[in-house]
Amino acid sequence: MNLSGHRAHASYGAFVVHRLSGLALAVFLPAHFWALGTAIEGAATLDGFLKWTDQPLVKLAEIGLVVLLAAHFAGGVRLLALEFLGWRAWQKTAVAASAGFSLAAGLLFLLNLGL
């Protein structure tokens, strides 16, 4: 992906993060619903799946998903504010704040995992 030249600025980066995180979440969602749907077959099946998620690689992926969700959320809030509140002076700060929020969410998740 080319992020040089006319694309080398914060708001473009925010656009890319928002688009890629949205794409990843959209791909993840059907799998997420499917996995939770195993609960229909009873607690034992769900427990079996949850045990599988105890592996370190899966936990790492989960942290990644939390960060992606938080990033997409923060970027989306920035966009809604920009489009509907005409919020201008804080643009760059908003991008930075979004990034900070995402990382904070990921970190909180990580800490709560007890790792």
Site residues for another protein per CB under 8 A: 4-7, 9, 11-12, 15, 19, 22-23, 25-26, 29-30, 33-41, 43-44, 46-47, 50, 53-54, 66, 69-70, 73, 76-77, 79-80, 82-84, 86, 88, 91, 105, 108-109, 112-114
In angstroms, give the least distance from the CB of 3 to another protein: 11
Residue 69 C-beta-side C-alpha neighbours within 13 Å:
12
In angstroms, give the least distance from the CB of 113 to another protein: 6
Cβ distance to another protein smaller for residue 29 or 60: 29
In angstroms, give the least distance from the CB of 100 to another protein: 15
Torsion angle, CA of 108/111/114/115, rounded to 10 degrees?
Answer: 130
Cβ distance to another protein smaller for residue 4 or 57: 4
In angstroms, give the least distance from the CB of 48 to another protein: 9
**Residues in the chain, how many?**
115
Residue type, 42: G
Helices in the chain by DSSP H: which ranges? 10-37, 43-52, 56-84, 91-112
Cβ distance to another protein smaller for residue 69 or 99: 69
Contacts of 39 (CB under 8 A, 6+ apart): 45, 46
